[in-house]
Amino acid sequence: MSYVDEVMEIIRKKDANEPEFIQAASEVLESIRPVVDANEEVYRKAALLERLIEPERVITFRVPWTDDAGNVHVNRAFRVQFNSAIGPYKGGLRLHPSVYIGILKFLGFEQIFKNSLTGLPIGGGKGGSDFDPKGKSDAEVMRFCQSFMTELYKYIGPDEDVPAGDIGVGGREIGFMYGQYKRITGQYQSVLTGKGLTYGGSLARTEATGYGVLYFAQEILKLRGIELAGKTVAISGAGNVATYAIQKAQQLGAKVVTCSDSTGWVYDPDGIDVAALKEIKEVKRARLTEYKNYRPNSEYHEGKGVWTVKCDLALPCATQNELQLEDAKTLVANGVTMVCEGANMPTTLEATKYLQENGVIFCPGKAANAGGVATSALEMSQNAERLSWTFEEVDSKLKQIMINIAHNVSDAAAKYGFEGDYVVGANIAGFEKVADAMLAQGIV
Ligand code: NDP
């Protein structure tokens, strides 16, 4: 049995109850097969893959908090410190009822390769809790975040582990967590990114993931001789990534006709109104049903359906496994040119395979959405030198990083005979650097 297959067996046995982790690991291991085969003896001797698939550390803790009526609740929380071969652990915190260890291991594992692709010195981690911020008051969210940080602060630090936002964790939550960290430790440190601009945050961090997705997509299209301007785009999600992906797509001359949240989706034939979307989601924290009040020409539909809309580009920016085989078939039938992932692993393995086999340009999230973490690393640099760069400076660095990732991914795929397969390219380019660092550092 090949080394890759042996290690996949271990994962299926040991982590049988973590389907998302199995899915992420099998995609990565499958696509780095050519590199592993070429280095099998060295990797085997160092148990490189067995170490790669096992987090360096997983911290689990309870988060007790009191609601506005005085009732006590207890949530379960985690920090997965997956791999620090190339730098301190870096990766977001997710607050969503679906959070359990399998989701965070999949996200932490993906983060290792994504962070490596940015070219910056950051390792992979991820954390979060099954707390649901929906329907909670600001005071309840604050009490949860304070309790969460009261335990987490022991395990993070500017040279150790620097968490950021993810689903359910935006500027409000990062602010509450940072305040509590500072209160406990008395330290004004770069221990979280995505901070507010008045207390160490970076300009363009809020926009970075969504903007980066478009910079990446534009560069890959350019390599294929295709213009982004004038294209029709379908986007899912209505959160941080989706909102700024929509904004940048429109700035680059494309027309975005959809967005969605966890209950329904919007079709706006005139192009999504970003100001209205921000007002609904960021200010009112309301449902997309309200969008029609701002844009009478638009349609609101309950449930799933974004991928039924005819488009040239599809950008899934909501959550994992939201684009399934049936969706892929509809997109292909409607003549889609590119699917570029803004979310982490939003496309199932079967859907990815179908899209690639049917000539769709497929860009995996670990490359396309790396702009968020890259800009988080730029926030750490600014904090370390006690300076703030201008929006234009951060944005141009972000753009250059995304262009570099596009070329590295494309070159790595071509080098191993998989030209145009950006899944293989991203996994190989991300893996090689981490593997070299792990081998150099001995059996740790
Ligand atoms: P947000 O919480 O800001 O937004 C998430 C959006 O997706 C919301 O519109 C939400 O709906 C919707 N959504 C969440 N869960 C589900 C679900 N189970 N079914 C349907 N819709 C759902 O998160 P982000 O925009 O930050 O993150 C989106 C994706 O991008 C995630 O996969 C995340 O891991 C990834 N990502 C985020 C980065 C960042 O910098 N923020 C960086 C890299 C990747 P509702 O409005 O109803 O809650």
Tens-digit pLDDT profile for residues 304-352: 999 999 999 999 999 999 999 999 999 999 999 999 999 999 999 999 9
Candidate of 106, 261, 284, 345 to mutate for ligand 1, largest count of ligand atoms within 8 Å of Cβ: 261
Closest residue (by CA) to atom 22 of ligand 1? 262
Atom of ligand 1 nearest to the CA of 134: 48
In short, whether 370's Cβ falls inside 6 Å of ligand 1 is: no
What's the order of all strands across the beta sheet hosting 232-236? 255-256, 232-236, 313-316, 338-340, 361-363
Closest residue (by CA) to atom 35 of ligand 1? 343
Q: Ligand 1 mean position to 208 CA, how many Å?
A: 14
Closest residue (by CA) to atom 46 of ligand 1? 261
DSSP 8-state code for residue 280: I
Which of 370, 364, 420 lies closest to 24, judged by CA?
Answer: 364
Q: Residue 200: its pLDDT value, please?
A: 97
Closest residue (by CA) to atom 20 of ligand 1? 262
Q: Could you give the C-alpha distances from 221 to 85, 337, 346, in angstroms and in order?
A: 33, 10, 20
Closest residue (by CA) to atom 5 of ligand 1? 239
Q: Point out the catalytic residue in the list 90, 105, 114, 126.
A: 126
- Confidence (pTM): 0.96
Q: Name residues of the chain where pLDDT drops below 50.
A: none
Mean confidence (pLDDT) of the chain = 98
Q: Residue 17: its pLDDT value, please?
A: 98
Q: Tokens in use for 89? A: 């652990």
Q: Ligand 1 mean position to 432 CA, how many Å?
A: 29
Q: Tokens in use for 329? A: 């078939």
Q: Ligand 1 mean position to 250 CA, how many Å?
A: 20
Q: Ligand 1 mean position to 125 CA, how many Å?
A: 18
In short, whether 262's Cβ falls inside 6 Å of ligand 1 is: yes
Active-site annotation holds for 126: yes
Cβ atoms within 10 Å of 158's Cβ, excluding its own:
15
SS3 358: coil
User: Within a 13 Å sphere around the CA of 34, how many CA atoms are in the beta-carbon half?
Assistant: 13
In short, whether 280's Cβ falls inside 6 Å of ligand 1 is: no
In short, whether 318's Cβ falls inside 6 Å of ligand 1 is: yes
Angle between helix 391-415 and helix 422-440 axes, rounded to 10 deg: 90
In short, whether 207's Cβ falls inside 6 Å of ligand 1 is: no
Give CA angle at 49 (155, 167), nearest 5°: 45
Q: Residue 314: its pLDDT value, please?
A: 98
Residue pair 228/395 in contact (Cβ under 8 Å)? The answer is no
Q: Residue 154: its pLDDT value, please?
A: 98
Q: Which residues are paired to 77 by β-bridges? A: 61, 129
DSSP 8-state code for residue 316: E
In short, whether 319's Cβ falls inside 6 Å of ligand 1 is: yes
Closest residue (by CA) to atom 7 of ligand 1? 318
SS3 129: strand
Q: How far is CA 283 from the centre of its chain?
A: 23
Q: Ligand 1 mean position to 402 CA, how many Å?
A: 21
In short, whether 166's Cβ falls inside 6 Å of ligand 1 is: yes
Q: Residue 309: its pLDDT value, please?
A: 98
Label residues 286-317 b or e (16+ Cβ within 10 Å = b).
Answer: eebebbeeebeebebeeebbbbbbebbbbbbb
Atom of ligand 1 nearest to the CA of 168: 2
pLDDT in tens, 205-225: 999 999 999 999 999 999 999
SS3 61: strand
Which of 213, 215, 146, 226 lies closest to 184, judged by CA?
Answer: 146
Q: Could you give the C-alpha distances from 56 to 50, 83, 407, 428, in angstroms and in order?
A: 11, 6, 31, 21
> Within the chain, how many helices (H) and strands (E) appear?
18, 13
Q: Which amino acid is at 287?
A: R
* Residue in this structure with the two tokens 């150790």, named with its chain if needed: 160
Asked whether the CA dihedral 283, 192, 208, 127 is positive or negative, the reply is negative
DSSP 8-state code for residue 187: -
Q: Residue 225: its pLDDT value, please?
A: 98
In short, whether 238's Cβ falls inside 6 Å of ligand 1 is: yes
In short, whether 27's Cβ falls inside 6 Å of ligand 1 is: no
In short, whether 124's Cβ falls inside 6 Å of ligand 1 is: no
Residue pair 212/369 in contact (Cβ under 8 Å)? The answer is yes
Q: Residue 186: its pLDDT value, please?
A: 98
Asked whether the CA dihedral 345, 351, 355, 357 is positive or negative, the reply is positive
Q: How far is CA 158 from the centre of its chain?
A: 21
In short, whether 83's Cβ falls inside 6 Å of ligand 1 is: no
Q: Ligand 1 mean position to 262 CA, how many Å?
A: 9
Candidate of 100, 240, 315, 375 to mutate for ligand 1, largest count of ligand atoms within 8 Å of Cβ: 240
Residue pair 168/241 in contact (Cβ under 8 Å)? The answer is no
Closest residue (by CA) to atom 29 of ligand 1? 343
